Amino acid sequence: MSQALLQPEWSADDLKRAIKSAGVALWTWIVDDDTFVMDTKAYELWDIGVETDLTFEHLSAKVHPADRDRVRAAFVAARGIDGPFEIDFRILTDASDVRWISARGQGNEGDAATKKMTGIFLDVTGRKQAEEGHELLAGEMSHRVKNLLALASGLTHITSRATQTKEEMAQQLTQRLTALGRAHELVRPLPDGQGNAALLGDLFTVLLAPYDNVGAFAGRIRVAVPRMGLGEKAATSLALVVHELATNSLKYGALSNDVGLLDISGAVVEDHVEIIWNEQGGETAEPLASTEGYGSKLLHRTVSGQLGGAISYDWVEGGVIVTLKFKASCLTS
């Protein structure tokens, strides 16, 4: 005889061991007098002491207020039908923790005369938390994509107005989007309340690395800023700021030749973070027309609007000193 056709006889002990290993809790509800009978596992699951006169109303008081009416309605509806039912809901433990319960049962056990329902409780907290995490992640990803698309659209508009040819526009837009991409790659959780994205120094170092990798001239960019974490929004905005400053320097300032130096330092002053962008070895000592263009407008808008700060220029012989001030609270958002 095929083994698939064999009908094993499970002993009571076998069933008890299977139920225990699966974490299943048993219950019976006598509808007429509202008596609710549960096994020891169920009392443990609901975080209540063993009651000799437990009722459905007594038990429903432990259900999360947001789910209570839904659970009562489901149980009342299920007792009037024959067949299986299932409902997931939250309960509150004595420690005010939220626990997810799945109640599965059989209405009337196929016999309306019994007016009795039996079933099981399962702790599905882990599964529900995973589902909520996936929903949160999906929502966050959707939010990020929308923000990036809006930002890319704005950059395209600004770049198109600031360039003369399609080749120039493609080059500048690609550079700006690449800078955003580098900043996005830095986003990661940081320990000890340091923020939830990149470290400030890492952001400057990564974004400026392409300008510093020129053979014998490598090392002419120095970064010494406070160790602090950046929020994702701030990291993206600051990436644009760094890119615009580096682009101007590459065109007209210290990075436009082989001998220029760029020194970036910073300090925390009360509730602000001050960054000094100091270029030496450039060829100009007077304001550039580029500081009045669309790139400059983007720069000022980003610094003042999104980072709650200000930007100022001090033109000196052979270079420029750019002072950036940001609200510390804006950098961690």
- Average pLDDT in the 300-305 region? 84
Distances (CA, A) of 219 to 70, 208, 211, 252, 319: 66, 11, 10, 19, 18
- Give the per-residue pLDDT at 109: 54
Domain endpoint, select from 72, 94, 123 = 123
Q: Confidence class of residue 236 from pLDDT cuts 50, 70 and 90? A: confident
Global pTM?
Answer: 0.48
218: pLDDT strictly greater than 70? no
Residue 135: which CATH number?
3.30.565.10
Distance CA 56, CA 120 (A): 14
In a domain, 267, yes or no: yes
In a domain, 2, yes or no: no
227: pLDDT strictly greater than 70? yes
- Give the per-residue pLDDT at 266: 92
Q: How many domains does the chain have?
A: 2
Q: Does one domain contain both 196 and 257?
A: yes
In a domain, 1, yes or no: no
Q: Does one domain contain both 76 and 210?
A: no
Which has more confidence, 183 or 228?
228
Range of the domain at 274: 128-331
Query: Bridge partners of 63?
Result: 91
- Average pLDDT in the 87-115 region? 77
- Average pLDDT in the 5-14 region? 70
- Give the per-residue pLDDT at 110: 46
CB-CB contact of 294 with 284 (8 Å): no
- Average pLDDT in the 29-54 region? 83
Q: Does one domain contain both 174 and 244?
A: yes
Q: Does one domain contain both 117 and 133?
A: no
- Give the per-residue pLDDT at 324: 93
Q: Does one domain contain both 137 and 208?
A: yes
- Give the per-residue pLDDT at 107: 67
Domain endpoint, select from 80, 106, 123 = 123
Q: Does one domain contain both 223 and 288?
A: yes
CB-CB contact of 211 with 183 (8 Å): no
- Give the per-residue pLDDT at 263: 93
In a domain, 4, yes or no: no
3: pLDDT strictly greater than 90? no
Residue 94: which CATH number?
3.30.450.20
In a domain, 5, yes or no: no
Query: Bridge partners of 36?
Result: 29
The closest alpha carbon to 189, from 235, 129, 136, 133, belongs to: 235
Q: Confidence class of residue 251 from pLDDT cuts 50, 70 and 90? A: confident
Q: Does one domain contain both 321 and 203?
A: yes
Residue 120, helix vs strand vs coil: strand
- Give the per-residue pLDDT at 158: 59
In a domain, 190, yes or no: yes
Q: Does one domain contain both 263 and 163?
A: yes
> pLDDT tens, 168-182?
888 877 877 776 676
- Give the per-residue pLDDT at 215: 41
In a domain, 112, yes or no: yes
Q: Does one domain contain both 190 and 237?
A: yes
Q: Does one domain contain both 49 and 140?
A: no
- Give the per-residue pLDDT at 175: 75
- Give the per-residue pLDDT at 217: 46
Domain endpoint, select from 71, 92, 123 = 123
Query: Where are the alpha helices (H) located in 22-110, listed in sequence order?
Result: 40-46, 56-60, 65-78
Q: Does one domain contain both 208 and 273?
A: yes
Q: Does one domain contain both 99 and 153?
A: no
In a domain, 3, yes or no: no
